[in-house]
Amino acid sequence: MLGSQELVGLTATAVVGYYVYSRIMRKKRKEINEVLFFPDHTIDTFDKQQIGDKIFKTITDLSLDEESSLARLLSHIRSAERSIDLCLMIFTCREFAREILECRKRGCKVRLILDYSNIGNSGCQLRNMREGGVFVRGKKQPFLMHHKFCIVDSDLLINGSFNWTGTAVMGNNENVVISNNTKVVSCFVKEFEKLWSKHAP
């Protein structure tokens, strides 16, 4: 049986060990600070008359291509190993839905907060998300839930003016900032958890 002093010593050692380990891992982790701009003009075969109704095709068929903002953005989503938290005003783009559902099939926990006013709009991916095992919340409120951010594995932030629509990819002037800065990401994690609790059924 360990005495109280021995327990205190073991606890202190564990805390120090974890602190040192986390500092080392933080230094080893590659810093990500990337900015993407849209529209993405590398998309050649997209039917502009039916934005959102068909799967996107790029010159390289969505393979990693530094020239393609869409492919870069999808690759960050695809990097998820544990979880994806989405807080979006509108979600109609099937290509993003396909990536999210692929992550879900791999075992990632996915949560989606969607502005209530856009639920049921043409092309809304809400039903696909629910059928694919995504946890979804949306609630009526006096003003818009205007966020457009995604948190991957609780340590990578995708955020900007960009709505998850075909129009944002093909037509609008949009920006997306991608970062794994711990302080920045933690602020968005807190905001997501606050809204997730607020809009509980």
Active site residue 199: no
- In a shared domain, residues 122 and 181: yes
Q: Give the mean pLDDT of 83-110.
A: 95
Give me the residue label for tokens 């060990």: 17
Which of 146, 190, 194, 198 is catalytic? The answer is 146
List, for residues 45-64, the tens digit of each pLDDT value.
444 444 444 455 544 444 44
- In a shared domain, residues 181 and 85: yes
Range of the domain at 68: 31-198
CATH number, position 113: 3.30.870.10
- In a shared domain, residues 26 and 114: no
Q: Give the mean pLDDT of 94-104.
A: 92
- In a shared domain, residues 52 and 2: no
Active site residue 27: no
- In a shared domain, residues 118 and 174: yes
- In a shared domain, residues 5 and 95: no
Least confident of 40-44, 67-71, 111-115, 138-142: 40-44
Q: Give the mean pLDDT of 93-109.
A: 93
- In a shared domain, residues 89 and 18: no
pLDDT value of residue 49:
44
Say which residues have a Cβ less than 8 Å from residue 40's Cβ, sequence separation at least 6.
58, 68, 69, 70, 169, 170
pLDDT value of residue 60:
44
Active site residue 153: yes
pLDDT value of residue 147:
97
Which of 57, 153, 155, 199 is catalytic? The answer is 153
**Alpha carbon of 165 to those of 6, 80, 193, 199: distances in Å?**
58, 21, 24, 23
- In a shared domain, residues 12 and 94: no
- In a shared domain, residues 82 and 17: no
Tokens, residue 10: 């073991």
Strand partners, 33: 179
Assign 150 to helix, strand or coil.
strand
pLDDT value of residue 59:
41
C-alpha span between 151 and 184 (Å, rounded): 11
- In a shared domain, residues 38 and 59: yes
Contacts 24+ apart (CB under 8 A), 144-147: 144/89, 144/115, 144/117, 145/87, 145/89, 145/113, 145/114, 145/115, 145/116, 145/195, 146/89, 146/115, 147/87, 147/88, 147/89, 147/113, 147/191, 147/195
List, for residues 129-179, the tens digit of each pLDDT value.
999 999 999 988 899 999 999 999 999 999 999 999 988 988 899 999 999
Q: What is the pTM of this model?
A: 0.78
- In a shared domain, residues 114 and 56: yes
**Total domains, the chain:** 2
- In a shared domain, residues 59 and 139: yes
**Alpha carbon of 128 to those of 21, 63, 90, 99, 177: distances in Å?**
40, 24, 14, 12, 26
Q: Give the mean pLDDT of 71-97.
A: 93
pLDDT higher at 87 or 17: 87
